[in-house]
Amino acid sequence: MTDKGIIERGFVCVENGKIVKVCDGVPEVIEFEDIDAEGSILLPGFIDAHTHLGILENGLDFEGDDCNEASDPFTPQMRVIDGVNPYDYCFKEAVMGGVTTVMTSPGSANTCGGSMLVMKTTGTCADDMAVAAAGMKFALGENPKSVYNGRDESPKTRMAAAAIIREGLYKAKRYLSDCEAAEEDSELPDFDAKCEALIPLLKGDMKAHFHCHRADDICTAIRIAKEFHLDAVIVHGTEAHLIPEIIKKTGVPVICGPILCDRCKPEMKNLTIEAPAILRKHDINIAICTDHTVIPIQYLSATAALAVKGGMSEDDALYSITKGSACILGVEERMGSIAEGMDADLQMYRKDPLDLREDPWFVMIDGKECVNNGFR
């Protein structure tokens, strides 16, 4: 996943959780603790760019569902880190599938669900697993409509969903302006948790992830992002392949998925496994996701393989779940490729990593080999 391309026969040195050397050939000295890959395929750990891992817990209903604070359609002050359970069994399944990093997110019941979290998939405390709070979750389309229509509350239409997002962003913009204008000895505006949460977004320190399936919702997301100068990401983008020229012109990346699923609601009627290939042919930056729990996290590579069946190259498919995901999440300086200075998140396969029958026989996170979701 670097300019070096594929190294047919080489070695990687790891120290203190970081990659310190990537070379051709063999090292001059081989120590007892060194690992002989025996001709295996070495890859960066997979990165799932959009999941609800740990906040929708395995096998539980209400008790383990902390995904949507659906009591208010606009809740940017929610932080997904406060709802993640690292002891959810699906973290272990993620590691078993070679997934070493995920973006875990609030759900899409609200027009703004809260801040997302990039995190490693092994650990006992979310704070220690956290990499970055790199996104704010927004939602357009059927999800917020269906939740609040049943209560006879706003938003019941796509217009209202967009209006609620705009209102929240305008308030935060004014709040930020008032804070910046206040002199040291003058009174700051009254504290507003929602506005405070949106300040990193308005300053460009956080990306705006827009849940949207339909093409018109994608255009609405782009419209709002332009109005507020947001660094936007389209999540799901089920109909993105219908408007690739529009998306390409804006430079907005798309996190595709889930594609290994049925057309479970009207706005997904144009779902196709060919979408990732079409977007890549238009030079649009993409990642592929499971949207766990929609598709179990361990099948991220299977989802990428399905995109290959839809016309995507194998190289692009692997890129979309490694460096491509890292770039969209803004963590490419730490993970997603095998290069000096990167986190030592690595995995090895004896055969094709996109073969459904294959699992990694070796997974390392932060320089420590994972064994039964722990470390050897």
pLDDT at 157: 97
The average pLDDT across 149-167 equals 96
Confidence at 62, pLDDT banded by 50, 70, 90: confident
pLDDT at 148: 96
Cβ proximity of 104 and 80 under 8 Å: yes
Confidence at 59, pLDDT banded by 50, 70, 90: confident
pLDDT at 376: 47
Q: Is 9 exposed, middle or buried (0-12, 13-18, 19+ CB in 10 A)?
A: exposed
Confidence at 372, pLDDT banded by 50, 70, 90: low
- 45-335: CATH topology is TIM Barrel (3.20.20)
Pairing relationship of beta strands 130-139 and 207-212 according to DSSP bridges: parallel
d(CA 56, CA 68): 10
Tokens of 45: 């750990």
Cβ proximity of 370 and 348 under 8 Å: no
Q: What is the pLDDT of residues 319-346, one digit of tens each?
A: 999 999 999 999 999 999 999 999 999 9
Q: What is the pLDDT of residues 264-312, one digit of tens each?
A: 999 999 999 999 999 999 999 999 999 999 999 999 999 999 999 999 9
List the single range of 86-90, 98-102, 163-167, 261-265 with lowest mean pLDDT: 261-265
Residue 188 pLDDT greater than 70, yes or no: yes
**215-228 vs 158-181: helix axis angle to the nearest 10?**
20
Q: What is the average pLDDT score of the chain?
A: 95
Cβ proximity of 231 and 222 under 8 Å: no
Which of the two residues, 188 and 295, has the higher pLDDT score?
295
Block residue for tokens 């977004």: 201
pLDDT at 374: 54
d(CA 163, CA 172): 14
Residues in the chain: 376
Q: Is 42 exposed, middle or buried (0-12, 13-18, 19+ CB in 10 A)?
A: middle
Confidence at 184, pLDDT banded by 50, 70, 90: low
The 3-class SS string of 37-95 reads: CCCCEEEECEEEEEECCCCECCCCCHHHECCCCCCCCECCCCEHHHHCCCCCHHHHHHH
Residue of 326, 346, 350, 348 lying closest to 336 (CA atoms): 326
Tokens of 48: 């799932």
Q: What is the pLDDT of residues 206-246, one digit of tens each?
A: 999 999 999 999 999 999 999 999 999 999 999 999 999 99
Cβ proximity of 354 and 313 under 8 Å: no
370 forms bridges with which residues in the sheet? 375
Residue 185 pLDDT greater than 80, yes or no: no
pLDDT at 60: 83
Q: How many CB atoms lie within 10 A of CB 158?
A: 18
pLDDT at 43: 97
Which of the two residues, 308 and 31, has the higher pLDDT score?
308
How is the chain split into domains, by residue range?
Answer: 45-335
